[in-house]
């Protein structure tokens, strides 16, 4: 049997609001959660309630937990401006950028030293990421031919990078 909500409200609202306010430290939010508690009871008219006071407190506790979770999600940590100066910049330095470009140019030069077909196979395989079978199909050659060209290309790159 559903209790008379106006009687329940007049009997328990003050006590429930005090309970919520002690846990929140905020009277406005406590009033909002108290109203939400009673709205929950109203939205479930078919619920058979044995102990209305315990039922109200259970709903209020759940609403309180949800409220705290939402507050933690909303909360952002503020940093003092000095803290930003201590953060590490993960961008490469101008020197690192220049060094990377020089290395890339050197690699391009080493690739250009190879025969044209070997360059083409090396680029398709190592730069574009095609499998040896895909390279063979694209160029209309055998897979073993692709393997031989790659072996030549890798040997050339290794030898030149080691300075021989």
Q: What is the pTM of this model?
A: 0.45
- What pLDDT digit, counting tens, does each position of 75-112 carry? 777 777 777 777 777 788 889 999 999 999 998 999 99
- What pLDDT digit, counting tens, does each position of 123-155 carry? 999 989 999 999 999 999 999 999 999 999 999
Judge whether 66 lies within some domain.
yes
Q: What SS3 state is found at 73?
A: helix
Domain boundary among 40, 74, 108: 74
DSSP character at residue 162: T
The verdict on 70 and 111 lying in the same domain is no
Give the C-alpha distances (Å, rounded to integers) separating 73 from 33, 68, 104, 111, 158: 18, 9, 45, 53, 53
Judge whether 80 lies within some domain.
no
Q: Please give the structure tokens belonging to residue 63.
A: 């609403």
Domain range holding 147?
94-161
């Amino acid at each position: 049997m559903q209790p008379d909500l106006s009687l329940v409200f007049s009997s328990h609202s003050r006590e429930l609001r005090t309970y919520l306010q002690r846990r929140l430290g905020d009277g406005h939010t406590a009033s909002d959660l108290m109203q939400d508690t009673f709205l929950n009871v109203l939205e479930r008219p078919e619920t058979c309630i044995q102990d209305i006071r315990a039922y109200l407190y259970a709903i209020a506790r759940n609403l309180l937990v949800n409220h705290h979770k939402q507050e933690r999600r909303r909360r952002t940590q503020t940093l003092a401006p000095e803290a930003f100066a201590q953060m590490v910049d993960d961008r490469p330095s101008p020197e690192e950028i220049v060094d990377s470009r020089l290395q890339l140019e050197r690699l391009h030069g080493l690739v250009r030293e190879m025969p044209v077909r070997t360059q083409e196979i090396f680029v398709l395989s190592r730069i574009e990421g095609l499998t040896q079978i895909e390279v063979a199909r694209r160029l209309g050659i055998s897979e073993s031919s692709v393997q031989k060209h790659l072996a030549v290309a890798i040997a050339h790159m290794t030898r030149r990078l080691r300075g021989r």
